[in-house]
Chains A and B, each alone.
Chain A
Amino acid sequence: MAARLFLEGLARPLLVVHAIGAAALVAASTHHLLWCRSYLSGRFVRVHAERRFALIVSLLFVGNFVLGASLYPTYKVRVRAEYLDSQAAATDEARLRQAARLGPPDSKKDAIVGQSLMPVARTFDIKEHFMALAVAVSLALLWLSRRAHPQDEPRIAPLYVGLSALICLSTWSGAIIGLYVTMVRPIG
C-alpha cells in the first residue's frame, strides 16, 4: 500500500539519519562553544578552525531542521494524533502490555494506564519552536563568523560567544527532548 503521508514510507531510515545528524550537531555546537570561549578574554586562538566549525554547525542545523520538518507530518499523524493525543489508544496499549507482562506486577508501570500523554506532546512542541529559532541563531552566528568576527572587532565577542552558547544549549535540549519522545513512542 502506498504511504498516505509525505515521506511516510522513508520515515524510519530518515529518522535514523536525523538522529545521527542531531548527534553530530550537538558535538559540533559544543566544540564551537569551547573553541570560541577564549574570545571573551581577548585570546583569539584557533580562529580558522573555529570559523570552519561555525559553518559546520550552520550546515548541520539547516540540514537537520529541513529533515525534521519533512518528517513532521508523519510524527503529527502517527505519533501525535494517533497516540499521544488519543487517550484510548495509549490506555489500550498500556493494558495490553500490562496483560502480557512477564515477571511480578510493577505498580509504577501499571499506574500509567489512563495517564494522559499530552505533556509529552506539548514538550515536543516546545522543542520544535526552540529549534526553529535556534536555526536562525546559527545563521546569524555564521554571518558574524564570516563578516564581523570578534578578531576584527573585539566588541562583538560577548554576542558571538553568547550566540554559540545559545545554540549549544538548544541543540542539547532538542536532542534530549527528541530522544525522550522517541522513547515514549517512535513513529511505528
Chain B
Amino acid sequence: MSPWCAPLDDQKAVAGRNFVLGCAGLIGFALGYALPSFARLSKIFYDPLARTWMWSNGPPGALPIGYGLIAYGIAGAVVAVGLASIMVRLMKPTDRAFALGAAWTLTAPIVVMAYYAWNNWP
C-alpha cells in the first residue's frame, strides 16, 4: 500500500521512519563535510589555472579549490542514511527519538558552520 493512502496511524509511522532517514542524511552530510578538514584527510582539489583535478592531503598551492568537501559530505549522508534505514526496520521512533533527532539535525549543520567560521574568521 502506498504511504499516501495508508490509514492515519500507518501514515504517522511512515512519516516517523522518513523523519529518521532525513535526520540521518543531514547529520551525515554535516559530519562528512567537516571530517576532511578536521582530520586532515586527502580530498579532491581543482586547480583553476591548470584546469586539472587532483587528490591531495592539503591544498597543493594557493589556488586549488577544495570541492572534495562536498564529496565527503555526500558520502557521509549515504552512509548515515544506510545505517538509519537498518535502524528504522528494527525500531519505531519514540517521543524522545523525535526530540533528539530534531535537536541533533539542527545542531549538526550549525556546529559545522561555526567550525568553518572559526577557522576562517577574518
- Looking at chain A's contact residues, the main secondary structure is helix
**Pair B48/A140 contact, Cβ less than 8 Å:** no
Q: Across the interface, do B69 and A85 meet the contact criterion of CB distance under 8 Å?
A: no
- How many positions in chain A have a CB within 8 Å of any CB in the partner chain? 41
Looking at the assembled complex, report how far the CB atom of A14 sits from the nearest CB atom of chain B, in whole angstroms: 15
B84 is an interface residue with CB less than 8 A from chain A: no
Beta-carbon contact of B109 and A136 below 8 Å: yes
Q: Mark A147-175, 1 if CB is under 8 A from B, else 0.
A: 11100110110110011001000000000
A59 interfacial contact with B, CB 8 Å? no
A140 to B84, CA, bound (A): 14
Q: Is B40 an interface residue (CB 8 A)?
A: no
Question: Would you give the 0/1 interface string for A26-40, flagging 1 where the beta carbon is closer than 8 Å to chain B?
Answer: 000000000000000
A173 and chain B: residue at smallest CB distance: B113
CB proximity of A152 to chain B, nearest CB, Å: 4
A87 to chain B, nearest CB (A): 14
Interface positions of A (Cβ within 8 A of B): 4-6, 69, 72-74, 76-77, 81, 85, 118-120, 122-123, 125-126, 129-130, 132-134, 136-137, 139-140, 143-144, 147-149, 152-153, 155-156, 158-159, 162-163, 166
Identify the 6 closest CB pairs spanning chains A and B, nearest first. A119-B122, A73-B48, A159-B102, A129-B116, A147-B18, A153-B15
